């Protein structure tokens, strides 16, 4: 039973060193998500997921673990300097995806600003992106803080991870929409 659950989880976001997702956008820049290695957060060994632009600008870093219940965020870094402390690790994605399932979490910056994360599984759908056609689960997600936030509709495919996302960034009174579509996915090593 445990093997089946772990297989279901890894099908949602296959984490291993060297795993790499390249997303084209409707902007002039691509985004690369890559598992660059492992590091401990406290006593917990985590995968380090870096998010960079195609111009090699670091946008985000997350320290993630996976088990039969899902992929959890243990620590995050926005840009190069804004460390997000996470007192209670929260799910980035839960296993298995089920229509109507939802989860949430919270992180804090060093100056005490709180950021909340919420996700809800909406439906399973067919999605076509440059990397191929997938049967994927549509999720509604939200990252909100005092400074603004990001809402999104994301599609997650088995054994690949996120294949499409429609983001709305709301900061400083303006809203910027950005669409990501998976161009290429490379599984990492063991």
Confidence of residue 12 (pLDDT cuts 50, 70, 90): low
Contact by Cβ (8 Å): 108, 114: yes
Task: Give the whole-angstrom CA distance, residue 119 versus residue 145.
Answer: 15
For 70-107, the three-class secondary structure string (H helix, E strand, C coil) is: EEEEEEEEECCCEEEECCCCEEEEECCCCCCCEEEEEE
Instruction: Count other C-beta atoms under 10 Å from residue 79's C-beta.
Output: 10
Q: Give the range among 40-54, 83-97, 155-169 with minimum mean pLDDT.
A: 83-97
Residue of 131, 187, 123 whose CA lies nearest to 155: 123
Using alpha carbons only, how large is the chain's radius of gyration in Å?
16
Residue of 122, 130, 75 whose CA lies nearest to 99: 122
In the prediction, which pLDDT does 1 show? 27
Tokens 């946008």 belong to which residue?
Answer: 59
In the prediction, which pLDDT does 64 show? 94
5-26 burial string, b = 16+ CB within 10 Å, else e? eeeebbbbbbbeeebebbbbbe
Spell out the domains of the chain, with CATH numbers in brackets: 2-186 (2.40.128)
In the prediction, which pLDDT does 77 show? 85
Q: Decide if pLDDT at 2 tops 70.
A: no
Choice between 15 and 12, residue whose per-residue pLDDT is larger? 15
Confidence of residue 33 (pLDDT cuts 50, 70, 90): very high
In the prediction, which pLDDT does 109 show? 76
pLDDT by residue (tens digit) across 100-142?
999 999 988 777 778 899 999 999 999 999 999 999 999 999 9
Cα dihedral value 92, 95, 101, 104, nearest 10: -20
Task: Give the whole-angstrom CA distance, residue 7 versus residue 60.
Answer: 27
In the prediction, which pLDDT does 70 show? 85
């Amino acid at each position: 039973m445990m093997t089946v659950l772990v297989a279901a989880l890894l099908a949602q976001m296959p984490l291993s060193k060297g795993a790499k997702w390249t997303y084209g956008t409707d902007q002039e820049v691509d985004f690369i998500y890559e598992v660059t290695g492992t590091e401990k957060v406290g006593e917990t060994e985590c995968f380090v997921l870096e998010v960079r632009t195609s111009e090699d600008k670091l946008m985000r870093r997350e320290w993630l673990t996976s088990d039969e219940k899902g992929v959890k965020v243990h620590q995050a870094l926005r840009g190069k300097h804004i460390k997000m402390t996470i007192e209670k690790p929260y799910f980035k994605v839960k296993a298995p995806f089920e229509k109507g399932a939802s989860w949430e979490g919270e992180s804090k910056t060093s100056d005490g600003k709180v950021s909340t994360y919420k996700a809800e599984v909406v439906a399973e759908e067919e999605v076509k992106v440059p990397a191929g056609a997938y049967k994927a689960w549509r999720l509604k997600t939200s990252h909100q803080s005092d400074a603004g936030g990001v809402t999104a509709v994301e599609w997650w495919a088995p054994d690949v991870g996120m294949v499409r996302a429609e983001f709305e960034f709301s900061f400083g009174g303006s809203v910027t929409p950005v669409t990501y579509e998976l161009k290429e996915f490379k599984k990492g090593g063991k």
